[in-house]
């Protein structure tokens, strides 16, 4: 933390429109150091956009800026967060303080920042409140963010057979998300496409040694999809976050790489929008009642996506997007699918047998829960990983095992697998009954 820069300032936000796009522009500042211009652009295409002059939209965009600012705030973790362009009440301050603290949990852990939630950041409003009018609007249709991984493929595939008026949504230049949507039968012309432009000043600060690290990206997606849904009159924003996302990466501490994908954040966000954003748009995760293991089971049946989907964050930096085959995400996806796909099918996806890769041993141990921490990636729980490992050893009768499975057999206690784990369904979720029934029916079909 840089004590010589005690003040971070949220200066302004603007909503602009031209014939091709809708733009949200923000200015943030680290007092005495630099200013940042952050830009979000939404392609208009042939969609019918409305409510662009609404105070409700202005309020959503202001709140979105609070989340977008985290990317810049983290460079110095200034003690004081000054809001010049708006006003939040004491309850909102508490809400955002929690998001900043837990959403930057991995960042704090890796940068060895020792503080409490109460002391991490103090908000002070210097602007005026946005007076939000009530709008009586007929909402219909579904917005589904597509990231390109197996989870959103499962969501869109199960929903498309039961609902009309679905639009897919993506952020960035991710061609895999387009390919997954098109594989599901959705034309690109029906996809909401958004770009975010990070100010180069932040990248320069990173080069100079200012703080950097993971931010709660999914929290930004929550507010951004809310803005888009309001402008399009959508009823539902349907995410693909699963029950497994709730597990901490560090034993005994609430430090979770996936914090803004957790059920805790989902409930916090739903409560926040109900009180402060003043619309009836419903935000929930379709896959929340089930685990990564069950998602892998469902996905294993969707063969048409197997050559298309990608989840590797390292490989996403290459063109075209590839599985790097060396990172925790690649190994986890390989492990979780190995309980349902044979070696030939896995090879066709990853291009090699990751169980034979000796360089992945440390990552393998961490994913199985025998290391110091769980890798800071979007991966499943220890119990799910161990289920898949033990299942593979059972299938092979403990003989002729690839390197990583042989290592596990020799060093850890083998457990008899119980397929009842595939029947679990967490009733503590936010799914409306018609969506819950679809998920339950498809789990039964797979079993």
At CA 248, angle to CA 247 and CA 253, rounded to 5? Answer: 140
The CA–CA distances, whole Å, from 436 to 117, 165, 193, 443 equal: 35, 19, 28, 11
Closest listed residue to residue 249, CA positions, set 106, 98, 365, 111? 106
pLDDT digits 0-9 by tens, 13-24: 999 999 999 999
Q: What are the structural domain ranges in the chain? A: 7-285, 312-424
Q: How many CB atoms lie within 10 A of CB 383?
A: 15
Could you tell me the maximum CA-CA distance found in the chain, to the nearest angstrom? 70
CA dihedral of 168, 52, 270, 139, whole degrees rounded to 10: -70
Instruction: Tell me the percentage of the chain whose pLDDT exceeds 70.
Output: 99
Question: What is the C-alpha separation between 42 and 74, in angstroms, rounded?
Answer: 26
pTM: 0.95
Burial of 344 (0-12, 13-18, 19+ CB in 10 A): exposed
pLDDT digits 0-9 by tens, 149-179: 999 999 999 999 899 899 999 998 778 999 9
Contacts 24+ apart (CB under 8 A), 20-23: 20/44, 22/49, 22/52, 22/231
N-terminal to C-terminal alpha carbon distance within the chain? 51
Instruction: Tell me the percentage of the chain whose pLDDT exceeds 90.
Output: 85
Residue 136, pLDDT score: 60
The two three-digit tokens of residue 311, written as one number: 């989840």
CA dihedral of 238, 242, 243, 247, whole degrees rounded to 10: -120
The two three-digit tokens of residue 279, written as one number: 């619309």
The CA–CA distances, whole Å, from 288 to 233, 244, 323, 395, 426 equal: 24, 8, 26, 29, 8
Question: What is the C-alpha separation between 376 and 329, in angstroms, rounded?
Answer: 9
DSSP labels, 348-376: HHHSS-GGG-GGGHHHHHHHTT-SSS--S
pLDDT by residue, tens only, the chain of 447 residues:
578 999 999 999 999 999 999 999 999 999 999 999 999 999 999 999 998 999 999 999 999 999 999 999 999 999 999 999 999 999 999 999 999 999 999 999 999 999 999 999 999 999 998 887 766 678 999 999 999 999 999 999 999 989 989 999 999 877 899 999 999 999 999 999 999 999 999 999 999 999 999 999 999 999 999 999 999 999 999 999 998 888 888 877 888 889 999 999 999 999 999 999 988 999 999 999 999 999 999 999 999 999 999 989 888 778 788 899 999 999 999 999 999 999 999 999 999 999 999 999 999 999 999 998 898 888 899 999 999 999 999 999 989 999 999 999 999 999 999 899 999 999 999 999 999 999 999 999 998
H or E segment and range at residue 11: strand 7-17
């Amino acid at each position: 933390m840089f004590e010589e820069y005690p003040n971070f300032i949220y200066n302004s936000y603007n909503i602009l429109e031209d014939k091709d796009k809708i733009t949200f522009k923000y200015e943030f500042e680290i007092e005495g150091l630099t200013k940042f211009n952050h830009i979000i652009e939404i392609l208009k295409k042939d969609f019918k956009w409305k409510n662009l002059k609404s105070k409700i939209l202005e309020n959503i965009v202001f709140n979105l800026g609070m989340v977008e600012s985290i990317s810049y705030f983290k460079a110095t973790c200034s003690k004081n967060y000054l809001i010049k362009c708006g006003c939040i009440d004491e309850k909102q301050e508490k809400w955002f303080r929690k998001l900043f603290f837990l959403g930057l949990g991995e960042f704090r852990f890796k940068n060895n920042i020792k503080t409490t939630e109460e002391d991490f950041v103090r908000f002070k409003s210097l602007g005026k409140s946005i007076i939000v009018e009530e709008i009586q609007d007929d909402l219909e249709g579904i917005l589904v963010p597509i990231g390109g991984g197996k989870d959103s493929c499962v969501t869109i595939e199960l929903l498309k057979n039961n609902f009309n008026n679905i639009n897919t949504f993506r952020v960035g230049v991710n061609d895999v998300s387009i390919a997954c949507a098109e594989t599901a039968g959705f034309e690109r012309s029906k996809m909401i496409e958004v770009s975010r432009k990070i100010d180069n000043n932040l990248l320069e600060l990173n080069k100079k040694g200012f703080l950097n690290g993971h931010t709660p990206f999914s929290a930004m997606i929550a507010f951004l999809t809310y803005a888009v849904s309001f402008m399009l009159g959508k009823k539902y924003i349907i995410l693909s976050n699963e029950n497994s996302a709730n597990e901490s990466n560090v034993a005994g501490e609430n430090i979770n790489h996936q914090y803004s994908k957790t059920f805790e954040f989902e409930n916090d966000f739903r409560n926040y929008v109900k009180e402060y954003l003043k619309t009836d748009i419903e935000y929930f995760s379709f896959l929340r009642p089930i685990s990564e293991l069950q998602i892998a089971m469902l996905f294993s049946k969707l063969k048409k996506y197997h050559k298309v989907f990608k989840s590797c964050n390292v490989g996403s930096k290459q063109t075209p997007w590839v599985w790097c085959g060396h990172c925790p995400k690649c190994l986890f996806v390989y492990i979780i699918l190995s309980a349902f796909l044979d070696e030939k099918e896995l090879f066709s996806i990853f291009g090699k047998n990751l169980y034979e890769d000796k360089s992945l041993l440390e990552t393998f141990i961490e994913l199985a829960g025998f290391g110091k921490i769980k890798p800071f990636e979007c991966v499943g729980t220890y119990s799910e990983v161990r289920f898949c490992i033990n299942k593979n050893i059972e299938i092979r009768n403990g003989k002729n095992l690839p390197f990583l499975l042989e290592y596990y057999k020799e060093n850890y206690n083998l457990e008899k697998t119980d397929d009842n784990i595939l029947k679990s369904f967490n009733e503590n979720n936010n799914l409306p009954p018609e969506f819950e029934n679809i998920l339950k029916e498809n789990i039964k079909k797979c079993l």
